[in-house]
Protein backbone atom coordinates (compact mmCIF):
# COMPACT_ATOMS: atom_id res chain seq x y z
CA UNK A 1 0.00 0.00 0.00
CA UNK A 2 1.58 3.39 -0.98
CA UNK A 3 1.97 6.09 1.63
CA UNK A 4 -0.47 8.98 1.54
CA UNK A 5 0.37 12.70 1.76
CA UNK A 6 4.04 12.35 0.79
CA UNK A 7 3.86 13.83 -2.72
CA UNK A 8 4.15 17.57 -3.39
CA UNK A 9 1.20 19.53 -4.75
CA UNK A 10 0.84 19.30 -8.54
CA UNK A 11 0.01 22.38 -10.60
CA UNK A 12 -1.10 21.31 -14.10
CA UNK A 13 -1.16 24.93 -15.34
CA UNK A 14 2.10 26.30 -13.89
CA UNK A 15 3.23 29.51 -15.59
CA UNK A 16 6.74 29.86 -17.01
CA UNK A 17 7.79 33.52 -16.80
CA UNK A 18 10.69 35.10 -18.70
CA UNK A 19 11.40 38.86 -18.45
CA UNK A 20 8.07 39.49 -16.74
CA UNK A 21 5.99 37.80 -19.46
CA UNK A 22 4.23 34.44 -19.31
CA UNK A 23 5.79 32.44 -22.13
CA UNK A 24 4.13 29.05 -21.63
CA UNK A 25 2.27 26.83 -19.18
CA UNK A 26 3.49 23.44 -18.05
CA UNK A 27 2.80 20.94 -15.30
CA UNK A 28 5.01 21.46 -12.25
CA UNK A 29 5.26 21.23 -8.49
CA UNK A 30 5.59 25.04 -8.34
CA UNK A 31 2.84 27.45 -9.46
CA UNK A 32 5.30 29.84 -11.19
CA UNK A 33 8.71 29.19 -12.73
CA UNK A 34 10.97 32.18 -13.46
CA UNK A 35 13.60 31.58 -16.16
CA UNK A 36 16.26 33.74 -17.85
CA UNK A 37 16.45 31.78 -21.11
CA UNK A 38 13.82 29.78 -22.96
CA UNK A 39 13.47 28.54 -26.54
CA UNK A 40 11.91 31.83 -27.66
CA UNK A 41 15.02 33.89 -26.85
CA UNK A 42 17.77 31.26 -26.99
CA UNK A 43 20.37 31.92 -29.75
CA UNK A 44 20.18 28.34 -31.02
CA UNK A 45 16.49 28.65 -31.84
CA UNK A 46 16.40 32.32 -32.87
CA UNK A 47 19.57 32.32 -34.97
CA UNK A 48 20.97 35.42 -33.28
CA UNK A 49 24.24 35.62 -31.40
CA UNK A 50 23.78 36.77 -27.82
CA UNK A 51 26.31 36.09 -25.08
CA UNK A 52 24.67 35.54 -21.71
CA UNK A 53 27.37 36.37 -19.18
CA UNK A 54 26.36 36.95 -15.59
CA UNK A 55 29.75 36.69 -13.93
CA UNK A 56 32.04 38.47 -16.39
CA UNK A 57 33.75 35.28 -17.51
CA UNK A 58 33.65 36.16 -21.20
CA UNK A 59 35.22 39.59 -20.63
CA UNK A 60 37.88 38.07 -18.40
CA UNK A 61 38.69 35.48 -21.09
CA UNK A 62 38.86 38.14 -23.81
CA UNK A 63 41.14 40.35 -21.68
CA UNK A 64 43.38 37.42 -20.79
CA UNK A 65 43.98 36.46 -24.41
CA UNK A 66 43.97 40.00 -25.81
CA UNK A 67 40.83 39.59 -27.89
CA UNK A 68 38.99 42.76 -26.81
CA UNK A 69 38.47 45.45 -29.46
CA UNK A 70 40.52 48.10 -27.66
CA UNK A 71 43.47 45.81 -27.05
CA UNK A 72 43.21 44.34 -30.55
CA UNK A 73 43.55 47.82 -32.09
CA UNK A 74 46.74 48.52 -30.15
CA UNK A 75 48.31 45.19 -31.12
CA UNK A 76 47.41 45.75 -34.80
CA UNK A 77 49.01 49.20 -34.79
CA UNK A 78 52.13 47.78 -33.09
CA UNK A 79 52.44 45.12 -35.81
CA UNK A 80 52.31 47.72 -38.58
CA UNK A 81 55.25 49.70 -37.10
pTM of the model: 0.52
The angle formed by the CA atoms of residues 31, 34 and 7, to the nearest 5 degrees, is: 35
**Are residue 36 and residue 66 in the same domain, yes or no?**
no
Q: Which domain holds residue 63?
A: 49-76
Domain with residue 12: its CATH number is: 4.10.80
Q: Would the CA dihedral through 53, 56, 62, 64 be positive or negative?
A: negative
- Domain contains 58: yes
Residue 25 belongs to some domain of the structure:
yes
Task: Please state whether 7 falls in left (phi above 0), alpha (psi between -120 and 50) or beta.
Answer: beta
On whether both 4 and 23 belong to a single domain, the answer is yes
Domain count, the chain: 2
Residues 37 and 58 in one domain: no
The pLDDT profile of the chain, 81 residues, written as one tens digit per residue, is 778 889 899 999 999 999 899 999 999 999 999 998 888 888 777 877 656 666 778 788 888 888 877 644 554 545 554
Amino acid sequence: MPKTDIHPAWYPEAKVICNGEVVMTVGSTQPEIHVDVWSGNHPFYTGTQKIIDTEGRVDRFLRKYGMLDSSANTTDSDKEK
